[in-house]
Structure 1
């Protein structure tokens, strides 16, 4: 029935006996979502925020995981526990204090407020998954690289990261999906369509007197299909990235 919502009129959805064959067949909901409600603006905002969040999570997370895994860092497991503890706080308990901070810094209704927040949300998972994967790589690689005169930066950039492609793909997709679907902070930190992301934009489709179920279903389908395609396309890397990090040879 959810699929039928996309191609039939709203009045057909409330009839006593729904039909499996849309009559009439219509693409009106897609027109309403994009033309009347400006879905493309929300998609663009989500793309900017999600891509920036993903890039920063991979950069910072890979550096942190590399340092904790391959360098001599005292108390590294304690540091990992602290990083993990950040993700244990419920979002509803954080939204108030973070809103006040964003307001004081003049970051409300900006991409930066969302990117910084999503970076804090996604970084613990990215760091832990990458750390687990880096730990499975043999230490002999490090010794061989040092004997060839490769420095720490070269070891990370030319050896560790290329060998960790499945884990990078996995964590990148997880960070992207987290930022793409997040609703609470986006709702709290943005109040105009110039900075609102897809979840908030779709929530704004409704009004006090009417819920356009067809428009909501059409918009939800448009923003969900790309995620499904990405996951299916990178399925092999995702499975390898999530499982390999849990295997210690």
Structure 2
């Protein structure tokens, strides 16, 4: 009897592990969205369809089968944003911003200095650094600045009372591309009510793209970094610099970013 069962080869095991990993990654991602609840509903309908067929309930089986067929088409429409995000993650580059390493170092330094000053002065800010994915499809309105990124320019933009201080500032390569921009807010239901609009916008844009967002809280002065839909909170200038270097400059440094976050045990959401 056992001789009839084919012995799995090494490639069969590798194939199974790859499929398992893909399913795990997809479910892990969907668990952070409303898609998981819908998938559970589809699974229930599928089970009911099998039961109806087994019990020869032909009318119910017909209705459920057609419902599943229509549901597959509906899923593509309903979850178009989630599908786009997954495809964006697959095509996302593993390197930092598209500029020279020396210029990237300067950008990180200027952002860290500006964030530290605004944190001390309790000036709210939202700085989004564009990487490989163009943000024009996600950013609404905003005023084109096209100025060289400096600490002084960032503080001037976010200074209370200025026309552009409420929106987000978009950094493209080594320049401040736009200011006063509006970003998509995250729909993550797991976020606590205490997470404000700036932080939700930061998480939202990093869910939609591979951008990195830096947030300075107006109420507490706390500095946070959002990346890939996650938020690293309460960063002092030294830790902020290390995180931004890991995310924006070198692939070798990025490998250590998860270890850094675990080591420092920062509060994340």
TM-score using structure 2 length: 0.26
**Structure having the larger proportion of residues in helix:** 1
Where relative contact order (Cα < 8 A, 6+ residues apart) is larger, the structure is 1
**Structure having the larger proportion of residues in strand:** 2
